[in-house]
Every structure is written in structure tokens, then in C-alpha cells.
Amino acid sequence: MLHIKSLDEGLPVFKALGSELRINLVKLLLENREMNMNELASALGITNGALTSHVKKLEESGIIQVLAERGGHGNQKLCRVAVDKILFEVEDDEFEDENNIYNTEVSIGHYSNYEVYPTCGLATDRAIVGEVDDPRYFAHPDRIKARILWFTKGYIEYLIPNLLPSATKIDQITLSLEISSEAPGINNDWPSDISFFLNDVKIGTWTSPGDYGDVQGIFTPDWWFPNWNQYGLLKMIVINRKGTFVDGLKISDVNIRQFNLDYKSTIRFKFQVEEDAKNVGGLTIFGSGFGNYNQDIKVRIAYSPM
């Protein structure tokens, strides 16, 4: 997901999409997952030289990604669409003052509690931790180095660092992370109802469409198994005084005021696939070194004086 917070910030995206040829280029990549430069130039009826500037504009705006073609074809480059959604905020952000924003990041393996069921497992960027499908390894000492984890049902919970200034209250919490379902092997059509909890209160549910493995994740290491989870979707979860949202779409009326959070509060965030969910399709969380976004769980907290 590409999150545009202002008109000025969105200018490169608007320019990149302000061309019928570039729109057609994106359509081709959506239809074919990924194409090399020769294939794109041929399909669009232009030369490679003319194609280069169009690809550069789309890459600089974050709409597509360009990477070296696997298997080795000289200097040939592969192109693919880098976002599943573009979220554009027309209204001013209600929390504009950057001085009242606290940013932190939580590593995938730094969970504080869990209860998981096979298929399940976790891995660093170099190796599987222990053995797959054995929940006991979620307690292994090497789990703190994990960059990816997955399970069919159950939950994983994280303690969010709260280092806000004294005498402040929390007005909004935003989490950003790359997630997908967890199918046996891979299955792009494998829905899963993933619920979110803040301090044991369910704040909403989002349905993941699938467990993606059609192409290798951009940052997924080469040693990773080709028939396993390759990448997910970058989702943004927001809870503020208006309710709870995923990518700008409201998923519940649970709001931040109900929690009375301040600079002394414990903040626990849980991701759960409930046993009685309509779609028990598992959960995969991708951290830095895996997937398409090379990030862990990013947290942004807006606060104000008490």
C-alpha cells in the first residue's frame, strides 16, 4: 500500500500516472505479474530507450519495482507492480504536529506472548528456527532474530514500547506491517479472517485474500523454499477517536478514547486467527529481509498533553 498524506507528497504519483502509456504499462504488469524491459517495450510498441524514462517515473513514485532478472540475461531488468492499493488523504491530518509524534519499530521475533497451531514456524534471514510445525520452537532463544513467522490459528502478541513524554495521552496509534494468510504450501486464493486486539479488546477484523507465492518476494532470501510464503500485503491499521481503520476503511467503532492510554500505559497488540472465524486461513507476518517491503512492525503514536 502507498499512503499519500498530502497533495504535495502525492505529486510524483500524480505525475507518474498522468500518462496513458504509463497507465497501460501498469495494466500490463498487473495482468502478467512481472515482465522484463524487452517484453514491455514490445507490448507497448515503443523502443527500449523510450521505455526507460517511463519506467523510471513509475519506479521513483513507488508504483513499480525494478530488479535484476533471475536466471541471468545480461543486464535485463524485471518490472512488477509494487503496491496493491494507493491511499490518498484529501483532508488535513488531524495530527499534523510532528513534534507530537512518537515512532518506533518492533521486530517480528520480539513478541511477548503467543499460542500457535500448525502449520507454523519461524525463520531468521538465514535459516529456519528449529523445526517447522512444532509450536515449541516459538520459545527458542533464536526466535528474537526471526524475520518471518506463520501459523494456521492462534495468536501472536507484541508489547509496544511506550516512551512518550510525561503527562501526555495517546490520541492515535498506527501500525504498518506486511501480512498474508498461511496456506499449506502457497495459495493466492486462501482467505483468512485476521483479528486485531489492543490490550485484550478486539478492535476489528480484516480478511486476508491469500498466501502469496506466484513470484519470489523482492527481499525474500534465495535460500527460502520456492513453494513457501513469498510476500504479503502492506497493511496500515489505525485506531483513533473516530474508530478503527485498515487502509483508511473503517472496520469497527472501537476508538482510542475507550482505552484511556497515556505515557504510563502498557500497550499490547495482538494478531489472532480465531478458531471460530468464518475463514480460518492462518497468518504470516513478514519482517525486514523477507517479502516486498523490507520492514518490521512500524508503530506511530500521536499524543497530546493530558
Quote the percentage of the chain above a pLDDT of 90. 76
pLDDT for 124 equals 97
10 Å Cβ neighbour count for 232? Answer: 26
2-84 CATH fold: Arc Repressor Mutant, subunit A (1.10.10)
Task: Assess whether pLDDT exceeds 60 at residue 94.
Answer: no
SS3 (DSSP) at 109: coil
Instruction: Write the pLDDT tens digit of every residue in 215-257.
Output: 889 899 999 999 999 999 999 999 999 999 999 899 999 999 9
Task: Assess whether pLDDT exceeds 80 at residue 79.
Answer: yes
Helices 37-44 and 48-60 cross at an angle (nearest 10°) of: 110
Contact 173, 135 (CB under 8 A): no
Residue ranges, comma separated, of all CATH 1.10.10.10 domains in the chain are 2-84
pLDDT for 7 equals 66
CA distance 62 to 11: 12
State the chain's mean pLDDT as an integer.
91
98-305 CATH fold: Jelly Rolls (2.60.120)
Whether the bond into 220 is cis, omega within 30 of 0? no
Distance from the first to the final alpha carbon of the chain: 33
261: cell is 492510554
SS3 (DSSP) at 107: coil
Residue ranges, comma separated, of all CATH 2.60.120.260 domains in the chain are 98-305
Instruction: Write the pLDDT tens digit of every residue in 131-169.
Output: 999 999 999 999 999 999 999 999 999 999 999 999 999
SS3 (DSSP) at 45: coil
Confidence of residue 34 (pLDDT cuts 50, 70, 90): confident
CA distance 189 to 183: 9
CA distance 143 to 163: 24
